């Protein structure tokens, strides 16, 4: 009687496991694109397919060029904005992985080789078959699984991203972050531009300012002006101007010297209707309601 064949079973070691996909998108960024930033408890990476972008990771800014990929670890603040010099296309993928091997990707900026680029292209291609909505306008993310997705498509996506990560880890090759760190001088220029804008807004509260007016005074482009101001303050110039106008309106209403029409004219609003609408949008009250609340407080 023949002896039974002996088999050895090998438990497969999974060094990197992705459990959830949050975002797979291919974006075409305009020259003036600015995303104010966020932090979340999952991984994200951005790959520049064309052009260049400026990204923030933690407290440092980096210039990311075509062919380069940057990782954002969980809970790391990050943002992305146009460099102001060129259009840019990029793939952004966000996912959940608790694997210890993912620590390798902390603070990594790197080139992709041809094999890795093909994997990334395959991921985006397959995602278009799996999800009914593949957002192309950041930062909105609305991925919905398609009921007609080919068999095993979501598993193929995950396995390809895992292959990509393993390939990168095997190479052990990355760009020194110092090579892509934006010069301190440029950051100082950003701060100076922002302070100059704030000074113009504070001293021109009653003027009908446009972004073109401000950009001419500072001798920079409108797109760079918007980009720098949002990066440094977290707000658009228009939002900031409304904030200081409403703040001044509150002071004037409390003083009770001017009526609402005079306050509207003093702050550069064309008529009291626009003034009232802007005031209520910021405070939740009309000027009349605010005046009454002030009187009650004083009483």
Measured distance CA(167)–CA(17) in Å, rounded: 14
Burial label for 71, CB within 10 Å (0-12, 13-18, 19+), is buried
Q: What is the pLDDT of residue 299?
A: 39
Written as tens digits, the pLDDT of the chain (299 aa) is 677 788 888 888 899 999 999 999 888 888 778 777 788 999 999 999 999 888 888 878 888 889 999 999 999 988 888 876 778 899 999 999 999 999 999 988 888 989 999 999 999 999 988 887 655 555 456 677 788 888 998 899 999 999 999 999 998 766 544 554 555 545 557 778 888 888 888 887 777 778 888 888 887 777 778 878 887 777 888 888 888 888 888 888 888 888 888 888 888 887 888 888 888 888 888 888 888 886 655 43
pTM of the predicted model as reported, rounded to 2 decimal places: 0.61
Region for residue 295 given its phi and psi (left: phi exceeds 0; alpha: psi -120 to 50; beta: otherwise): alpha
Count of alpha carbons within 13 Å of 52, Cβ hemisphere only? 10
Q: What is the pLDDT of residue 16?
A: 96
How many helices (H) and strands (E) would you count in the chain? 10, 9
Q: What is the pLDDT of residue 234?
A: 76
Q: Which domains does the chain have, with CATH numbers?
A: 20-180 (2.60.120.280), 184-298 (1.10.10.60)
Measured distance CA(218)–CA(216) in Å, rounded: 5
């Amino acid at each position: 009687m023949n002896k039974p064949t002996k088999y050895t079973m090998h438990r497969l070691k999974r060094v990197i496991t992705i459990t959830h996909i949050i975002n797979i998108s291919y974006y075409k960024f305009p020259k003036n694109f600015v995303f104010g930033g966020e932090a979340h408890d999952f991984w994200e990476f951005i790959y520049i397919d064309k052009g260049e972008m400026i990204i923030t990771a933690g407290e440092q800014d980096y210039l990311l060029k075509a062919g380069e990929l940057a990782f954002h670890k969980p809970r790391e603040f990050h943002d992305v904005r146009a460099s102001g010099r060129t259009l840019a296309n990029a793939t952004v993928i966000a996912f959940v992985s608790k694997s210890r091997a993912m620590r390798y990707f902390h603070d990594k900026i790197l080139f992709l080789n041809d094999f890795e680029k093909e994997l990334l292209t395959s991921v985006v291609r397959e995602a278009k078959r799996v999800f009914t909505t593949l957002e192309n306008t950041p930062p909105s993310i609305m991925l919905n699984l398609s009921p007609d997705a080919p068999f095993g498509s979501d598993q193929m996506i995950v396995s390809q991203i895992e292959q990509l990560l393993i390939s990168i880890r095997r190479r052990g090759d990355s760009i020194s972050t110092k090579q892509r760190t934006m010069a301190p001088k440029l950051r100082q220029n950003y701060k100076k531009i922002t302070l100059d804008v704030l000074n113009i807004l504070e001293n021109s509260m009653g003027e009908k300012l446009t972004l073109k007016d401000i950009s001419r005074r500072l001798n920079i482009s409108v797109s760079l002006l918007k980009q720098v101001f949002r990066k440094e303050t977290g707000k658009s110039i228009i939002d900031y101007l409304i904030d200081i106008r409403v703040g001044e309106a509150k002071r004037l209403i409390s003083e009770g010297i001017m009526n609402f029409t005079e306050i509207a004219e003093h702050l550069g609003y064309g008529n009291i209707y626009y003034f009232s609408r802007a005031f209520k949008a910021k405070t939740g009250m009309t000027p009349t309601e605010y005046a009454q609340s002030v009187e009650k407080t004083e009483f």
